[in-house]
Structure 1
Amino acid sequence: MSNEHSQGNWVPVCTLSDIVPNTGVCALVKGEQVAVFHVDDGGTRVYAIGNYDPNSHAAVLSRGLVGSFGERIVVASPIYKHHFDLSTGECIEAPQHSVDAFPARVENGQVWVAA
């Protein structure tokens, strides 16, 4: 596993206040579309997964609905409603169509994604 905290791996994408709680935005991180989510369920967390939904062949995951699927925090794709785990990128209904997940953090109000 690479050291994700080494200099050069973390990319600033926006401020936390740029993302309405429990929604996502799309950011371009090193040439790749990444869906970045601000989840506020009593504590503020950020998640980042690939924005491209392989089920619908469209870059739409950042516009999906954030919720839970059992204990998992997920986003439901706006097209076919497949659920993607925000921690792992796993597509619950079609695991073969899972997406990449990226480490994300907030530091001094800035959202950072490890590319």
Structure 2
Amino acid sequence: MTHEFKTTTWSPVCCVDDIVPNTGVCARIKDRHVAVFHVSDKTPRLFAIDNYDPNAQASVLSRGLVGNAGERIVVASPIYKHHFDLQSGQCIEAPENSVKAYPVRVENRTVWVAV
């Protein structure tokens, strides 16, 4: 029996100070457009999801508005205003159009995303 294992590759994106709190930036990592968000409420946190909004069929999520939907931290797509959970990538209004979420870490002020 053969098993295939996918290895996680961490890629540097930018300096954490380059992302204005409560906004996102887009980075091309491998063949993907990834939206990276710096959320600063009680504790500053970083999230990464696909930048491509399947509802609008456009790479726009990094330009969306960051906020809360109940207990969830979300981004509202700038086109149709669908909300995407930044931890899971789930689209609240259309779960069938959810996006992938990625691990994020900061080392020496550099933001790294695993794709």
Structure 1 runs, 4 residues or longer, greater than 3 Å off: 1-4
| Total equivalences in the alignment | 111
In structure 1, the residue matched to 2:41 is: 41
Q: Distance in 2 between matches of 1:13 and 1:31?
A: 14
Q: Distance in 2 between matches of 1:69 and 1:2?
A: 33
RMSD: 1.3
Q: Distance in 2 between matches of 1:109 and 1:43?
A: 16
The Cα shift of 1:2 comes to: 6.2
Deviations 1:8-63 (A, max 9, x none): x1110000011000000000011210000000112111000000000000100000
Task: Name stretches of at least 5 consecutive residues in structure 2 with no aligned partner.
Answer: none
Question: Whose radius of gyration is greater, 1 or 2?
Answer: 2
The Cα shift of 1:3 comes to: 6.9
- Provide the TM-score with structure 2 as the length reference: 0.92
Q: What percent identity do the matched residue pairs reach?
A: 67
